[in-house]
Amino acid sequence: MRKASPPHSPRDGFSIVELLCVFAVIAIVISLIGPAVVRARESARRVDCSSRLRQIGVALLSHEESYKALPAGWKVEASGQSAYGWTVPLLPWIEQRNLAEAMDRNRTLSDPANAVALSQSIPLYFCPSDPVENSFALYAEGDEGHDGYGQESDTVLITLPSASFVGVFGTHDPDDGSGRKGEGPFICRDATRLSQFERGLSQTMLVSERTARKLPSTWIGFLTAGEDAAARVVGYADLGPNRDDADECELDSRHPGQINVLWGDGRVDPVSNSIDGRLYRAQARLRQGAEQ
């Protein structure tokens, strides 16, 4: 008697069509989740950027309370060859007292006594959204001076530690060569008092951002013979935030649709890319109607 053959066993695995359907579903899920993850990460970075600016604000207000003035935009040392930026006097208030004591601001920035400081990157002075290198080369100013466009020299004067935040100089280029002072809180070599904020502390920009894609910035200072020298520590407001057609020294960030701003009262609030130009420029000036 013949044994009955076993029933047909079910097929194992997936067909190609089924696998393609699974991959399509996974791709759709990723396409939906991916942008949300990117937005969440940028939101976290934007909050971190605001927190760092707020800490800088506490340091600035502490400096003003102790010395009855904000730090000068930059201070040129005796030889006139270099200058130290407004962030240097803040070092004791941001837990960098040892670094401050290691610097000799009576000597040129390129003096061996300042070699350690030149190699220091300070995390507080970086925006997390700006993928900037820890340092950059400062080139000599080209033969055409500041009227030239782009890098014109191949001569590296010094390598500077990077930063993402710049003091607000006003509404004019700090390195235009005219000798004109800015209208903002960080005007050349002069120290500004909070009592000079005639528009009100809450209506005046103090510090904001500029990305390396516009112009690399630094916390330490510059050599005066360098390209866009003073603009390495300060920036200005004219056309508007994040404008591709703006001068390289203007304010700029990688936050979509806005820049973060530290205001004179110590708060941090964003400024939208769509802000009215007249209001934007007014907020970079200490005085009402200070057109220069």
Tokens of 169: 């100089």
Within 10 A of 188 (CB to CB), how many other CB atoms are there? 18
Domain ranges of the chain: 38-282
**Which tens digit of pLDDT belongs to each residue from 128-179?**
999 889 999 999 987 655 554 555 678 999 999 999 999 999 999 998 765 5
Q: Is beta strand 268-272 parallel, antiparallel or unpaired with respect to 258-263?
A: antiparallel
**Which tens digit of pLDDT belongs to each residue from 111-124?**
999 999 999 999 99
**Which tens digit of pLDDT belongs to each residue from 95-104?**
999 999 999 9
How distant is the alpha carbon of residue 197 from its chain centre?
A: 23
For 224, which DSSP code? T
**Which tens digit of pLDDT belongs to each residue from 42-96?**
778 899 999 999 999 999 999 999 999 999 999 999 999 999 999 999 999 999 9
**Which tens digit of pLDDT belongs to each residue from 257-290?**
999 999 999 999 999 999 999 999 999 999 876 5
For 85, phi then psi, to 5°, come to -80, 170
Give the CA diameter of the chain: 115
pTM assigned to the model = 0.83
Distance CA 245, CA 79 (A): 37
Sheet holding 74-76, edge to edge: 74-76, 82-85, 221-223
pLDDT above 90 covers what percent of the chain?
A: 72
Tokens 């993402």 sit at which residue? Answer: 164
